[in-house]
Amino acid sequence: MPELPEVETTVRGLEPALLGQRLVRVDVRRADLRRAIPVDLRQRMTGARITSLGRRAKYGIIGTDRGDSLIFHLGMSGRWRLDAGKPGAHDHLVVETEAGRVLALNDPRRFGSLDLVETEQLIHWPPFAALGPEPLGDVLSGPYLKAVFAGRVAPVKALLLDQRVVAGLGNIYVCEALNMAGIAPGRQAGRISGKRLDLLATAIRAVLTAAIEAGGSTIRDYTQPDGQFGYFAKQWRVYGREGLPCPRADGTVIRTVDAGRSTFWCKTCQS
């Protein structure tokens, strides 16, 4: 947490306050998060006009008219606060626009990150260069999954969480999509038929789209920039529903642990 839908929701929430605005104040309130914050971030961002907002995988991207892009990752507990007022103890970056809006990046556990990259070099930035296609883009399809899974004996869930295979998928939404498609998380990826992979690609898109429309999923810290919670947790099919009925069949949701991650699924309908 937060995963792709939460980052997409965050970017959309920031856009009305930031797009087209010049930053009149940039206050970097600590030297590092998960890694060091660029020492010249304040200098390069103060006075810059925001020209674009976007997302790549689980990263948010804020472009400026100076040819730089501010890249943020929310880590495990990060969120942006809109009209933040007086900075709090965990507000590590505070910016003010020429319209007087104050935004703060809040991250109590400090697993997030802030980077500043030349916009023209974004595609070559190492964390981006290694990423697979976006799950909501044109590339993700049954045939694509068939090609990247060919000959692979690894579990399908593990490969979907591999950011080199599909960018931005996280534990919650992979569990949800696999249930919707009726595929067991531990099934060898290379042995899944093309027809079932068509269903999986469709399920991934459907789950992510519904999650974005609901504002993401709030578990602990995450909120949208306006302070609203993400309500997709109310629509979870299997995640966090151990012992409850499966929505697909006359079965019960179980929880297993793989590589330290909880997996929620139904043995009755997922094979």
Instruction: Catalytic residue, from 3, 6, 8, 176: name it.
Output: 3
Please say whether the dihedral angle defined by the alpha carbons of residues 259, 265, 270 and 271, taken in this order, is positive or negative.
Answer: positive
Report d(CA 44, CA 116) in Å as an integer.
Answer: 9
Instruction: Catalytic residue, from 12, 34, 261, 267: name it.
Output: 261
**Could you write out the three-class secondary structure of 181-205?**
HCCCCCCEHHHCCHHHHHHHHHHHH
The one-letter code for the residue type at 180 is M
Report d(CA 224, CA 250) in Å as an integer.
Answer: 36
Active site residue 35: no
Active site residue 49: no
Active site residue 157: no
Active site residue 242: no
Burial track 113-152 (b if 16+ CB lie within 10 A, e otherwise): bbbbbebeebeebebbeebbbbbbeeebbbebbbebbeeb
Q: What is the DSSP letter of 22?
A: B
Residue carrying structure tokens 């809109």: 82
- Residue 79 has which token pair? 């969120």
Instruction: Catalytic residue, from 58, 79, 146, 241: name it.
Output: 58
Q: Cite the active site residues.
A: 2-3, 58, 261
